[in-house]
């Protein structure tokens, strides 16, 4: 069974609202599952691609985000497995904590590997289909040969040249919003911090995340107040 030891050792769950999670039992004889892409406004903005496998989410930090252009090869740093519970997570990790900054669910759906994903992972070449709101069609994840002294596990994320490819387009600019709340990462962070400031309830336990409707209202209000 996959392990979340590395995931847990990096985080203090008294300080971050991220789920501590559990490695779920992997589904026997079933490859693929859910996928999610978190836009993560950490010290450096990046997009975390997560693919369900064997009860956890395989994760890559895609520094410049996914591209629908097959000529664009995007660096994807393989990072620690995340719990399945992490998939719907949106929130702000406090400054100074691991990954400090805000996250939104930029896209979600299901993924279908072309071959046994465990074998593909070992080989360092995963061909798969995405069925999301924003991302569709075939994709490739290809592991790079480590250079001397390279500590990171670097891969490339590349769109396959198929019917879902859109050369020259920038999906990150065209569709920047959360598929859950409709807000950009900046808007949802702003709305959340306002909500916390205006709340008169004692803040015990985990921070309460406002409902999507509320967030949209707050963001719209803040947008119209800054427009002159």
Q: Phi/psi of residue 70, each to 5°?
A: -60, -15
**Cα gap 1→3, rounded to integer Å:** 6
Give least dist CB 164 to Mn ion, A.
Answer: 25
CA distances from 117 to 21, 125, 149 (A): 22, 9, 28
Nearer to Mn ion, 48 or 216 (CB): 48
Nearer to Mn ion, 52 or 129 (CB): 52
Give least dist CB 30 to Mn ion, A.
Answer: 27
* Residue 36 burial (C-beta neighbours within 10 Å; 0-12, 13-18, 19+): buried
Nearer to Mn ion, 18 or 48 (CB): 48
Pairing mode, if any, of strands 153-159 and 56-62?
Answer: unpaired
Q: Which residue has the tokens 């996928």?
A: 35
Give least dist CB 40 to Mn ion, A.
Answer: 4
- Residues that bind Mn ion in the complex, under the rule CB under 5 A: 40, 48
Nearer to Mn ion, 40 or 192 (CB): 40
Give least dist CB 61 to Mn ion, A.
Answer: 5
Nearer to Mn ion, 39 or 129 (CB): 39
Nearer to Mn ion, 40 or 74 (CB): 40
CA dihedral 91, 94, 100, 104 (to 10 degrees): 10
Give least dist CB 42 to Mn ion, A.
Answer: 6
Name, in order, each residue with C-beta under 8 angstroms of 67's C-beta and a sequence gap of 6 or more. 74, 159, 170, 171, 172
Residue nearest to Mn ion (CB): 40
Give least dist CB 62 to Mn ion, A.
Answer: 9
3-state secondary structure of 224: helix
Closest CA to 36 of 93, 101, 125, 105: 105
């Amino acid at each position: 069974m996959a392990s979340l030891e590395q995931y847990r050792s990096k985080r203090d769950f008294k300080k971050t609202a991220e789920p501590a999670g559990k490695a779920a039992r992997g589904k026997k004889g079933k490859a693929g599952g859910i996928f999610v892409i978190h836009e993560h406004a950490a010290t450096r903005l990046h997009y975390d691609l997560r693919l369900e496998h064997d009860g956890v989410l395989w994760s890559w930090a895609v520094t410049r985000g996914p591209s629908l252009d097959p000529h664009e090869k995007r660096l994807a740093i393989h990072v620690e497995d995340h719990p399945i519970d992490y998939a719907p997570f949106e929130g702000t990790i406090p400054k100074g904590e691991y990954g400090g900054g805000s996250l939104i669910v930029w896209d979600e759906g299901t993924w279908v590997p072309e071959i046994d994903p465990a074998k593909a992972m070992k080989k360092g070449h995963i061909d798969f289909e995405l069925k999301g709101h924003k991302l569709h069609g075939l994709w490739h994840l290809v592991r790079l040969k480590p250079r001397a002294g390279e500590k990171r596990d670097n891969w490339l994320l590349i769109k396959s040249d198929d019917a879902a490819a859109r050369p020259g387009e920038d999906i990150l600019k065209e569709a920047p919003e959360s598929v859950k709340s409709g807000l950009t990462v900046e808007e949802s962070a702003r709305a959340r911090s306002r909500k916390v400031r205006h709340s008169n309830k004692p803040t015990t336990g985990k921070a309460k995340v406002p409902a999507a409707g509320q967030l949209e209202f707050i963001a719209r209000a803040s947008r119209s107040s800054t427009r002159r």
